[in-house]
Amino acid sequence: MSKKNIIFTVSIIISLGCSWLFIKNIEWSSLKNALTEANYWYIIPATILAILLYVIRAFRWQGLLSHIKPISALNLLSITSIGFMANNILPARVGEILRPFLLYKKENIKFSTSFATVVVERIFDMLGLIIFVVATLFLLPNPDSISHSPSFAVVSEEAATTGQSVIPSLKKWTGVFAAFGGITVISLFLIVTKPLFFKNILSASCFFLPHNLKDKVFGLYDSFVFGLKILENKLKTVWILILSLVVWLIGGIEIYTLGFAFNLQLPFVGACLVAVCIALAVALPQAPGYIGVFHIAVLKSLHIFGIDTTLAQSYAIILWAISIFPSTIMGFFFLWKEGIAFREVVKLEEEISEGKLEEMEGVSSAPPQL
């Protein structure tokens, strides 16, 4: 089997396995009742928050590109929406490559440079997530306060027991996450201040590679360092990090708000933990749309806070829909607005999967026409 087929097969197996874990204990009549009795007015603010996430991401990307070229936030919202739409419905996370190509097409920023900003964006996502995780784990309530809290509408004995065993274990990881975040930040600033030193280390590490492959690695490194130049501006760095934290915070608010639709009465820190679990789960290889993996992450994290299985399952289904459908619709709208045929996006995904993109090999190559 080719590498593409192996990755695709593993992704499908993971999604199918998680889907089976999610549905195997469903009581369909109870699930129907839970979905029927939900107060769907809360979907409106939750959906608005879900859309707001992409607006904030566009402003953050604008900040990351500011030292390269001033670009309107609306153009970046268009590209961001198309990228997440592609991630939702196509394999190989094609949206992460599609965004730099669209940026090249619209703003004439060469692929390697724009791709470096996407990588740096993910680094800030990780830093924001680490801070968010540390704060969430630190603020997690004690297991006894969860199991005996009168504020929960439904608390299952099995789920409460899960919380009593999991929360102390999670709290032990607070220091580890904090240390990892600190090391990451220090490493990034060292790379920016001493790029040649780290390039020499990279060169020594790649001594066994052929010259053409070495050149590609060095080209990517130079583009990455150029993308990190934003760190030289301390005010902009702080601003981008704040926006990264706001992204995760709004995700927690969205989850918390939707909880009222099912009368979960989930504490806000619990909603933040659900957001963390989703973020870690969707990083795994999986089928497009995060099917199964997303659902089981929500289910298991809600169990920590004593939420009944049927209620958690119904909530997970609606939260998944809110997370996927608005961004997908936005992506198709901007795709139409940009005059790009969806078949061209599919073609790009195939080229990425088959490793045919010569544009990734050097900074001078132009991306395929979309």
The predicted pLDDT at position 38 comes to: 92
CA distance 80 to 351: 20
Cα 91 to chain centroid distance, Å, stands at 15
Positive/negative CA dihedral, 158, 161, 167, 170: negative
The predicted pLDDT at position 150 comes to: 45
Q: How high is the mean pLDDT of the chain?
A: 83
Is the separation of the CB atoms in 84 and 136 below 8 Å? no
Is the separation of the CB atoms in 351 and 368 below 8 Å? yes
Is the separation of the CB atoms in 295 and 316 below 8 Å? yes
CA distance 145 to 161: 12
Assess whether pLDDT exceeds 50 at residue 113: yes
| Range among 7-11, 57-61, 288-292 with highest mean pLDDT value | 57-61
Please list the alpha-helical segments (H only) found in 228-308: 234-259, 268-281, 293-304
330: Cβ–Cβ under 8 A, 6 or more apart, which residues?
A: 51, 54, 81, 85
Assess whether pLDDT exceeds 60 at residue 358: no
CA distance 138 to 205: 39
Assess whether pLDDT exceeds 50 at residue 363: no
Mean pLDDT for 109-136 is 85
For residue 314, the one-letter residue type is S
Assess whether pLDDT exceeds 90 at residue 319: yes
Assess whether pLDDT exceeds 70 at residue 367: no
The predicted pLDDT at position 33 comes to: 92
Assess whether pLDDT exceeds 80 at residue 236: yes
Q: 183 pLDDT band (50/70/90 cuts)?
A: confident
Mean pLDDT for 254-261 is 95
Give 365 or 134, the one with higher predicted confidence.
134
Cα 242 to chain centroid distance, Å, stands at 17
